[in-house]
Amino acid sequence: MRIIVNDGVGFYTTRVISRYIREGMLMLDEGVRIEDVDRAAMAVGFPVGPITVSDEVGLDTAYKVGQILAESFEGRLDSSAIDRQLVEDGRFGRKNEKGFYQYSGGKKHEPDPTVYDFTAAGRQRIDMSGEKIAERLLLAFCNEAALCLEEDILRSPRDGDVGGVLGIGFPPNLGGPFFYMDQRGLTDVVRSLEGLEETFGARFTPPQLLKDRADKGQPFFK
């Protein structure tokens, strides 16, 4: 099954997966453990956590894509210094068996604790509940999906759900980002995004399209 999207930097899938990965990186900077981020993502239905995705894609590739998106969407797709520093240190992920995780013989093992030396928090790690981690990852993904619809990159919420689930692994048990927002309730989604915006800034600012639908009681699917 295919979807057609309109032209734009990052199109749809690259934007939402990059936002998902970036939020994971920013949590590492805050002091969350690598395995806690990935475990929380998989617990809600993502097939792969954002930190593992970065290793699989290649840290050098993820860094280049992140730079382009950060420049194009300044203040919204925040850049993290972690991947740049890791790339400068010669760590490219699974491809050279040096990344967020340790590898040997092509097999992934435990997280590499030396990665924390490249984060703002250093080796001092904090406990964050899986629910809070998953909330940020899900809403980061959904907010970027809604922005893609508002900006006419997506032609319909259905395309966003199909591309999200089948293309880049949004939890199929949640039905896709737009279906998930409908089921959760758009008013609650907007309220939760605004709460995260107060703490973390513009990357969680809900788009006007989402606020308007919430105000009118107008879900994406009727």
Q: Name 111's bridge partners.
A: 101
* C-alpha torsion sign, points 181, 140, 152, 172: negative
Strands, E assignment, 5-113: 101-104, 107-111
CB atoms within 10 A of CB 188: 11
Which stretches of 89-174 are DSSP H helices?
130-150, 157-162, 168
Contact indicator for 31, 126 with CB cutoff of 8 Å? yes
The predicted-structure confidence for 113-169, as pLDDT tens digits, reads as follows 999 999 999 999 999 999 999 999 999 999 999 999 999 999 999 999 999 999 889
Domains of the chain: which residue ranges? 13-118, 130-216
The predicted-structure confidence for 155-169, as pLDDT tens digits, reads as follows 999 999 999 999 889
Output the CA–CA distances (angstroms, integers) from residue 135 to 43, 58, 195, in the order listed.
Answer: 12, 25, 12
pLDDT, average across residues 11-21: 90
pLDDT, average across residues 186-201: 97
Give 79's pLDDT tier (boundaries 50, 70, 90). Answer: low
The CATH class of 13-118 is: mainly alpha
What distance in Å separates the CA atoms of residue 194 and residue 192, rounded to the nearest whole number?
5
What is the CATH number that goes with domain 130-216?
1.10.1040.50
Asked whether the predicted pLDDT for residue 95 surpasses 70, the reply is yes
Give 9's pLDDT tier (boundaries 50, 70, 90). Answer: low
Of the two residues 68 and 20, the one the predictor is more confident about is 20
